[in-house]
Chain A
Amino acid sequence: MTVQATPLLSLAGVTASVDEKAILHGIDLEVAAGETHVLMGPNGAGKSTMGHVIMGDPVYTLDAGAITFDGEDISELSCDKRSRAGLFLSFQAPVEISGVPLSSFLRASIAGRPGLEMKGREFRRRVKELAAELDMDVSYLNRELGVGFSGGEKKKVEMLQLLLLQPKLAILDETDSGLDVDALSVVSRGMDAYRRTTDGSLLIITHNTRILEHLHVDRVHVMVGGRIVREGDAELIPWIDEHGFESFEREAAGVPMEA
């Protein structure tokens, strides 16, 4: 890990709750520019919550701590401002919005972003290019956002947005879940293309190590019960693949670790 003086993303003592129930407890985490981090943990550990809290989901309350991105405290910013600051969250279950064609949505998402704004024809050419790169049927561009899309198509749309918006840091929340082999390959290709073309940072939330096989991972964080219980380099991934999260869960519950 290359520790820089000022990390791109920094969580310092982040504690967050929903409906007065604490989900995250004192999270400290730093991601430097250009790095790939992986957040792993069992179901219900709070991984997705952390992604949503970083992005500013109003469902959650930030009870303590601060989130800093690109040198700015974003703790109080709305999610649209965090997006425009260069943060991106790929959803585990992207929402459907009837009445809004995908192409209109994509066009609105780049509007007003310095360096990304494109006129009509240029926009269409760029989006078609990206769709081809992701094996995505261009007819989807005229369909209502997410409506009637398969799980795989929805994830392709998430990848398309990642490549279109070129964020400084992308949080991929279980982008690999529920996908068949072909769709997984497309998602991997999307992540590769993102890293190749932008040198952006990735924070990958997953409990499946397959998606990480072709990635250079700088740092792994393990979350259990809303706390980061272990951090390490990429060597932690095969260990988790073999042993699972049980020992971390026991440790979190106060039972000594065997390994």
Chain B
Amino acid sequence: MDRTSGNASGAVALTGVNAMPAPTWSWLKMNDTAVEIPAGLTPAPAAVSVEPAPGSADVVSANADAFDDALVAAGKRFASRARASAPGDARDHVALAAGEVDPMDVPALSRYQQGAVRVEEELSVEEAFETGMGAEAYGYLRSIGERPCVLEVPSGASAQVRVRVSGTPGTASVASVDVIARRDSSLELTVALNGTGSEPGLIGAAMRVFAAAGSRVSITTVQTADDAFISLDDAGIFVDEGAHVEVSHTVLGAGRSYTGLAADLRGDAARIDVDTSYLGAREQVRDFNYQIRHLGRRTTSSMDANGVLAGASKKVLRGTIDLMHGCTGSEGAERETVLLADERVDNKTVPVILCDEDDVAGNHGATIGHVRPEQLFYLGCRGLSPEAAEALFISAKLEDAALNAPDDEVRANVIRLGETVIPGFGEEIA
């Protein structure tokens, strides 16, 4: 939080948000982002509701320390691992500080490499834990929410919980959620981020997830705010041995939407699958940062993003698969398909695969394309002007979201957004 600053108007400026772990050229302006929060927003804790499904009420816990305790306990099992005297590792740097080696004999490390060595050799599990948007944004979000809602699913149990954030103009509404899914438990968590109104407001979520050995955690987030809103959705996930976490992010609304997720696959055979579906239109901004660290052996990750960008919208998607020292047999894959429906769209995609281990696999692929002239002609031959064609791509994305909405309230929110683009949208898909 120390870098968070306010300006003369009272607005809050967050810096270093959604930062890539291994930066690229600064002039590309995609390493991280700055987020300006409008001045004068009032925290609105009442706008956040936590709704356990019948039979799941017991998982709402009063133990505010449950998450931190779980990480500390995990840290005792995952002691830092010393490398076999790899050049430039912590041992070299200790010797260097003691003047025992010549500086010319120690390779210089990049900022990322220094961080990786620290994670691998020096930091405990709890020290290494992070969220996708970074410490500054996470701290801001946690400062907005009241005390975190703690969801603690006992060993072997199953639960379903919905968290709703219903933003209103002039307010900042943030759900702070800690999830602890104990051994072999199962949790389905839906997070509905919504905001209605034409004056500025903020909605968000700051989530920490501990998926213990053998657990299954499914997190479905759907964001359907009006354009006047800014959305900040931040998560950090620890995945223990054999645990499987599935994340679905559907980003449809908000003038500016920022999504960050960092996952620590520490346990052997840990797995995470992230599916992202997004829509950008008008002047909307979409900013994503996914960062998955493979530390355990035979760990698996996949990131699959599918988006439509129209109007003069802007998008950055950073996806980093970090195959760290010791993650033998692990595999990570990231794919993105994005359709650019307008020449004015600003689309940036940064797939990064970092590798410091043998016997691992990292794959990435991207399909990025404008609507081709022959597609526009085909649509034209069916009576669709270029403007109608653009609206079709948008409505198709909204229709898909409505059909797959986790509940009627979210579906109604999707339809509300749809009506702003296509009059009669709700009636059409009824």
Interface residues in chain A, defined as those with a beta carbon under 8 Å from any beta carbon in chain B: 55-59, 78-80, 83-84, 88-89, 91, 94-95, 97-101, 104-105, 107-109, 111-113, 119-121, 123, 161, 165
Contacts and interface: CB of A to CB of B under 8 A. Distances in A.
B373 interface: yes
B383 A101 contact: no
Interface in B381-418: 381-385, 388, 391-393, 395-397, 399-400
A121 B383 contact: no
20 contacts: A55-B381, A56-B380, A58-B373, A59-B377, A78-B380, A78-B385, A80-B381, A80-B388, A83-B383, A89-B381, A98-B339, A100-B396, A101-B400, A104-B392, A112-B383, A119-B427, A119-B428, A120-B430, A123-B428, A161-B382
Contacts of B383: 80, 83-84, 109, 112-113, 165
A36 to B, nearest CB: 20
Interface of B: 306, 308, 337, 339, 371-375, 377-385, 388, 391-393, 395-397, 399-400, 427-430
B373 A108 contact: no
A83 B393 contact: no
B382 A101 contact: no
A164 B400 CA distance: 23
A80 B381 CA distance: 6
Contacts of B388: 80, 108, 111
B392 A95 contact: no
A58 B381 contact: no
A121 B396 contact: no
A99 B393 contact: yes
Q: Chain A: interface secondary structure?
A: mixed
Contacts of A78: 380, 385
B380 A80 contact: yes
Contacts of A79: 377, 380-381
B382 A83 contact: yes
Contacts of B379: 80, 97, 105
A83 B376 CA distance: 13
Contacts of B428: 107, 119-120, 123
B378 A94 contact: yes
- Which of B372, B382, B392 has the most C-beta atoms of chain A within 10 angstroms of its own C-beta? B382
